[in-house]
Amino acid sequence: MASCDVGCLTCSIVSPLSCATCYPGYFLQPATFNSVAYCQACSSSNCMTCDSTLNNCLSCFPGQVLLTNATCQVCSNSCMTCSSSNPNICTSCPVGSVLFLNGTCLPLSQPNSCSLGCNSCLQSSN
């Protein structure tokens, strides 16, 4: 028995060749009178979801931020999440790191980082 398109996460129960949902990075093109629903890859590999034109990102994969021009930008390596105005400014940090008020993340093991239990730190002028 044939299955639905390669980009499909699930196939339709009613029409096994038709997609019901897509994997991240794909857009579900609806069924028409002449065709089954299928999944088409977003034009940018950074888009988690995109619009029907395939060119505009609607959401991004973790570690990336959605910019005002509907594209995704990778956050700085030290960030878990980052600011949409500047991907180098962290808004959250990975476990084991601490967020400083200047938007940087530093490992707890690094000298001059916060004590355990802090959510954020004031950066010392030393």
- The fraction of the chain above a pLDDT of 70, given in percent, is 85
Q: Is residue 31 part of a domain?
A: yes
Q: Which residue has better confidence, 2 or 60?
A: 60
Number of domains within the chain: 1
Q: What is the mean pLDDT of the chain?
A: 85
Q: Is residue 69 part of a domain?
A: no
Q: Is residue 8 part of a domain?
A: yes
Q: Is residue 22 part of a domain?
A: yes
Q: Is residue 23 part of a domain?
A: yes
Structure tokens at 92: 């959250």
Write down the pTM of the prediction. 0.72
Q: Report the pLDDT averaged over residues 107-114.
A: 66
Q: Is residue 63 part of a domain?
A: no
Q: Is residue 66 part of a domain?
A: no
Q: Report the pLDDT averaged over residues 45-60.
A: 94
DSSP the chain: -----TTEEEE-SS-TTSEEEE-TTEEEEPP-SSS--EEEE-SSTTEEEE-TTSSSEEEE-TTEEE-TTS-EEEPPTT-SEE-SS-TTSEEE--TTEEEETTS-EEETTSTTPPPTT-SEEPPP--
